[in-house]
Amino acid sequence: MGMMLGKITVETPKYQTIEKKEEFEIREYEPSVVAEVTYDPKEMKRGRDAGFMILAGYIGALGSPCNKKKGTEAAGEKIAMTAPVITQEQSQAGGSEKIAMTAPVITEEKQEEGGEKKLVTMQFVLPSKYTTVEAAPAPTDERVKIKGVPSKKMGVITFSGNADDKLTAEQLEKLKTALHVAGYKISGEHILARYNPPWTPWFLKTNEVMLPVE
């Protein structure tokens, strides 16, 4: 995630802009590989953002990476961080691999069938050198899953500020209305993408709400 007060200095998912309007744009995203964790925010100390620390552990942003090379049980050597966010890739032969931080952090929410329990799925998009699930280091934390994401067409609205529930809901409704007026059909649930670390001043934060469209 970007380190320099609002400036995004890390790799971001690749896409082509199909259409750009005043309020939104339509993007075609390339396939990607993500690390994700799903949890009930009510059961986690950090609430909705609890997954961040788990995923940061997987990539090695907090010290020794919680991952291993596929086909080996060798422990990894701790690699010192040069900044709060890692932007260089370093690997230990036969052991853990430090994975560069990318942006955005993606958050999805879903309601469990037959109940009121709401689960949150948080994802880190892995660097583009990991072109397949098999190429990514295997998590040693069983809560972390590696998943391939196919190409997708998304309607996107960009906004600044702290992306809390209220602001996100406002931007979501604004995007839905704009897409409807433009003749797009929404084909799934929204995701929230946040491009900056938590310590970034609110007025310098870049966020996006995305909706799959047809």
pTM: 0.80
pLDDT above 50 for 187 = yes
Reported as a pLDDT band with limits 50, 70 and 90, residue 176 is very high
pLDDT above 70 for 110 = no
Q: Report which of residues 24 and 136 the model is more confident about.
A: 24
Q: Report CA dihedral (28, 29, 30, 34) to the nearest 10 degrees.
A: -160
Side chain identity at residue 189, one-letter code: E
Cβ within 8 Å of residue 141, ≥6 positions away: 54, 57, 58, 66
Q: Report which of residues 53 and 171 the model is more confident about.
A: 171
Averaged over 152-180, what is the pLDDT? 95
| Both tokens assigned to 39 | 């949890």
Averaged over 193-199, what is the pLDDT? 81
pLDDT above 60 for 186 = yes
Pairwise CA distance, residues 64 & 86, whole Å = 12
Residue position matching structure tokens 């590696």 = 146
Residue 91 is predicted with a pLDDT of 39
Q: Report which of residues 196 and 22 the model is more confident about.
A: 22
Q: How far is CA 43 from CA 39, 40, 54, 206, in A?
A: 8, 6, 14, 28
Burial of 149 (0-12, 13-18, 19+ CB in 10 A): middle
Pairwise CA distance, residues 170 & 157, whole Å = 11
Averaged over 8-17, what is the pLDDT? 85
Residue 132 is predicted with a pLDDT of 93
87, HSE (Cβ side, Cα atoms, 13 Å): 14
Pairwise CA distance, residues 176 & 190, whole Å = 10
Reported as a pLDDT band with limits 50, 70 and 90, residue 2 is very low
